[in-house]
Chain A
Amino acid sequence: MFRRIWALVVKEFLALLKDKTSRMTLIIPPLFQLLIFSYAASFDLNQVNYAVFNQDPGIASRELLGYFKGSPAFKLTATLDHLGQVAPAVNEQKVLMVLHIPQDFTRNMLEGRSGQLQVIIDGRNSNTAMVLLGYINTIVTTFSTQWSQDHGWASPPAELKVRTWFNPNLESRWFIVPGIVGLLTLVVALVVTALSVAREREAGTFDQLLVTPLHPAEILIGKALPGIIIGLAEGSLIVFLTVNLFGVPMLGGLGALYLGMGLFIVSAVGLGLMISSIAVTQQQALLGAFLFLVPAVILSGFATPIANMPVLVQKLTLLNPLRYFLVIVRSVFLEGAEMSLLMPLYWPMAVIGVVTMIIAGWLFRNRLY
């Protein structure tokens, strides 16, 4: 029995790797994408082009603008002379924000009243606008505190001291890069498996396989193993690069990570084989792969938190193995989570893997054309 499965595994590997384009497709894109995406995917802003429309000749506006100039995230690209220039600059995306300081800014502040700072932000990407607003508030608060001290203003009776756990600088890269580990591992597992049965169906060789002494379970194992092996190999490489190239701290143990990765790949391979055995043609299999892959990524909590989704959609994400794996990867990397703490995340993936494999195996025989 083992020899029969082994023969099938060898054949599957040959089918995947003997063609040069196919070999390249499996190795080059995931590594390049890890490299590029890890640098690209971040919610942090570090180059905000802004314009200043300053009508106030006084000292306060000059001091405040100095704070913006001194911040590395901001880049002054234009100084405006009249109000009419504001709209074109924002509309044409020359600047992301305009700081407008009215004439009486310094006078108000010297007389103990609040000076008005008008901030105009391009809201076409509302998340960028929100992040930017946070940056602006931080700068203005720093300036205000300094001004209060220098000019003897009453200090507020209470102050908020924020401390952040696990990711003190709130770098979204630390959150995103471990997520990319999950994304790419899923894509690799799908690429290897989603078309494999459909191709044989289309070529007619699957019928031949079914009339051999191989049991459907053996065919299933033979089809699943290459996906699992390639997925684990590429997953390990991606984790290695994440730690050594991107410097994301790995606080937890490899055991907890690999148990998660193994179960995740099994469930992804199961889903891929299930899609593949439902499809009659490779085009249908490709459509199926995308109909699974895209929602799986979007509803995984990779970029947008699951907690913000409506309750019904949150329930739907329970079927998504990537959802569990992302939490595992992030917990192991950033929080140093132990295996015991992650137990509630391991078993759903195992269940998804087993169920999809059983369905795929059943479809082998019961969906003949």
Chain B
Amino acid sequence: MADKKKMSVAEILAAARSADGKGGAPPSAPQAAVESEPAQPAVEKPAAEKLAADKPKPAAKPAAGGARPSTADILAMARAKKEAGGEAAAKPAAAKPAAAPAAKPATAKPAAKPAAAVGAAKTGVQRDTASILAAARAGAKPGPVSKADAPTRPAPKPREAKPAEEKAAPPRTVATLPSKPLKPAKKGEEAEDRRGFLQIALGSAMAVGFSALAVTGGLFSLGLARFMFPNVLAEPPSKFKVGFKDAFPSGKVETKYVPQYGVWVVNGDFQGLQQIYALKTVCTHLGCTPSWLEAEQKFKCPCHGSGFYKDGVNFEGPAPRPLERYAIRVADDGQLEIDKSKTFQEELGQWADPDSYVTV
């Protein structure tokens, strides 16, 4: 029947085209399929039913009856099933290619239609690229090749070239399986050992690779972490002096320390107390630097429009809490000294801390 040679891309395309009914003459491979005797369309179904009946159901029994089957058991049973199926499929293998074209005897579209018929008959899906390709291949070499085909061909036919051998061998397995579940299991164990070796070999290669990767990554991160501790740190000192108290008249917001230190020195009143305090120039919403608007007597953030009163309390925009204060004190020489290493937050009640202000 169909020749066994692999189809070229051109042939597949040609087959697909002819399936659309627009292409020219069908190539040799699909033709071979058509040449086979057109059988009754009904043949296909009984064949499938027969397959189902021939399926070695008992293979599953021993597992269900006893304790939980081991992986080896399951593998062995699966294999036995496959062989039994193969044997059963040996017969339909001959009938199928004949049956398939018969489902749609219109010879103008010989290649794809069988598959379409097979697929559509069972699943009702439309013909897709996969099934067209499958049909093209089916013309050359019968066998389940696409998803659409699969439901109607439950059993693979691995060795259809030697049906005689298969017929002799598998029945023994099928017959003995229910009563002697151990025998095929042993067979499976052997096979598993061989694969197990492969797994270990592959697995260990992966293990070596990932271990090497982990070690390299770890060393690299350590190397990066070194950069967190530079030899020289160019930062302004966290403590600095801003002059004497009388440089800050009542109501004044001193902005000249913003560029270097990021701090406003304010002489204002907070809850009725006249204080000098140092406000951190970081918006409590997302960290932009607000600007002091003298005319409106407020700090206003350019990023999202948060506004703060002169005492640092938020009143407009999305800022959720007041600006923070830095520690401030009168140094021994009478100058005001700001310590940026310590901050005070109003919502935590820290503005009551005498370190956070200097009374005027």
Question: Do A and B truly interact?
Answer: no
